[in-house]
Amino acid sequence: MSSEDLFQRMAKAIIDGHKDEAAALAEEAATQGIGPNEALDKGFIPGIRKVGELWEQGEYFLPELVTSAECMKAALAVLKPALERSREKFALEGKVVIGTIEGDIHDIGKNLVAAMFSANGFEVFDLGADVKLQRFIDQALAVNADFICLSSLLTTTMLNQKRFMALVREQKLDGRFKVLVGGAPVTQKWAADIGAAGYAENAMTAVKLARSLLSR
């Protein structure tokens, strides 16, 4: 199999949601002497980006997004040891600290956003649900994060997003990282009112927004 054929099959495995095949193709790349970064850049990442396009076009829905993200994670799991052995670093898009905000235990939407960030080349630090406000800041500072993503699924807990922004200003950390907010009751107007860097209504929009903010 030529390298071009292999890259096309990698992308197709992600698009079609074939987890075992994605992992097997990652192993095949190593057998052929293809570096992990090349496998990602020319095969797997084009696949996950196509998934994003299909989502935006209304051809893919939540189950397809989740499945493709799991396929990407499977491929990355195979490639990770090679990256570490060769000291070749994956060209990360950025670092994301994410969690469901204090007082809120809902995490399905947050988990999908985290998975899609990871699948699209971001390094993700998922703090889980019901996360204390200061913990977001501490983790972001510890890993030198580019983004903090705050999820809230309740109108009562979305107020903690406002409290978080006040805490950031209180600690004079404005501009240190970009804060993105999301969740069922959250809107673009709310994000603007509390001073967040942006709002995303779904996982793929969050990835696109983060890329846009990084390029500015």
Output the six-digit token pair for 77.
Answer: 């799991």
Over residues 46-60, the mean pLDDT reads 88
Under the banding of pLDDT at 50, 70 and 90, the label for residue 105 is: very high
Output the six-digit token pair for 8.
Answer: 């096309």
79-99 pLDDT per residue, tens: 888 766 665 555 567 999 999
End-to-end alpha-carbon separation of the chain, Å? 40
The Cα–Cα gap between 105 and 113 comes to 16
pLDDT at 139 over 90: yes
Look at residue 91 in the predicted model and tell me its pLDDT.
Answer: 52
User: Please, which residues have CB within 8 angstroms of residue 129's CB and are 6 or more apart in sequence?
Assistant: 99, 100, 104, 105, 106, 107, 110
Over residues 48-76, the mean pLDDT reads 88
Burial (CB count <10 Å: 0-12, 13-18, 19+), residue 16:
middle
The amino acid present at 29, given as its one-letter code, is A
pLDDT at 77 over 90: no
Percent of the chain with pLDDT over 70: 95
The Cα–Cα gap between 129 and 102 comes to 7
Do residues 182 and 114 make contact, with C-beta atoms less than 8 angstroms apart? no
Q: How far is CA 143 from the centre of its chain?
A: 16
Instruction: Sketch out the chain's domains with CATH numbers.
Output: 3-86 (1.10.1240.10), 95-215 (3.40.50.280)
Sign, Cα dihedral of 205, 208, 214, 215: negative
Torsions phi, psi of 67, nearest 5? -65, -45
| Strand order from edge to edge, sheet including 178-182 | 123-126, 95-100, 147-151, 178-182, 198-199
Do residues 214 and 93 make contact, with C-beta atoms less than 8 angstroms apart? yes
The dihedral over CA atoms of 172, 175, 177, 178, expressed in degrees to the nearest 10, equals: 120
Kindly state the DSSP code that residue 101 receives in the 8-state scheme.
B
